[in-house]
Structure 1
Amino acid sequence: MCSHHPVCPSADSLDREAAHVMRAHPDQGWSLLCNGVVLFEDTGLLLPDGRIVAPHRVSVAA
C-alpha cells in the first residue's frame, strides 16, 4: 500500500492519476503509480482490477 503522506488516492478515486509514480518507462510510454494504476502517455489507464479507462486528453483550441 501507499506509504506517502498524505496517502495517495486509491485506484477507484476520480483523482487516481495524482498518485506518485513508482516506476516510469517513458521509452515504452507508461508509468506505474503508487495505487497500482498503469498510466499511459496517451492518458489511457489500466486499473489494478483489469478495467481500462480510455484516453481522456483535453483538446486545445487553436
Structure 2
Amino acid sequence: MCKHQPPCPAAEAADHGASRMIAYHPEQGWGLLCNGVIIFDDTGELLPNGCSIPIHKAMFEPAAA
C-alpha cells in the first residue's frame, strides 16, 4: 500500500505507527496511515486484518501532588 521511498513500516511491524498519515478526520477522531492502520485520537488502533489494539496511553496524566 505504501509508495514512499524508503517504504513505511508494515502494519504488522512493531513500529507501524511511524508510517505517514494519508487521511485525517479530526472531527471524527481518526486517521489512516499509508500501511492501512487506522489510528484513533484515544490511541486505539485498528489493523488492516481486523484486529484491534486497545487504548495504550493515558488520555490525561494525573496531576503531580
TM more than 0.5: yes
Other-structure match for 1:29: 29
**After superposition, what is the alpha-carbon deviation per residue over 1:4-54, rounded to whole angstroms, capped at 9, x for unaligned?**
121100000010011000100011000000000000001100000100001
- Higher gyration radius (CA): 2
Unaligned runs of 5+ residues in structure 2 are none
Q: CA RMSD in A?
A: 1.4
Other-structure match for 2:6: 6
- Please report the TM-score for the alignment, with normalisation by the length of structure 2: 0.86
Q: Percent sequence identity over matched residues?
A: 48
Corresponding residue pairs, total:
62
Other-structure match for 1:50: 50
Unaligned runs of 5+ residues in structure 1 are none
Moved runs in structure 1, 4+ residues, more than 2 A? 58-62
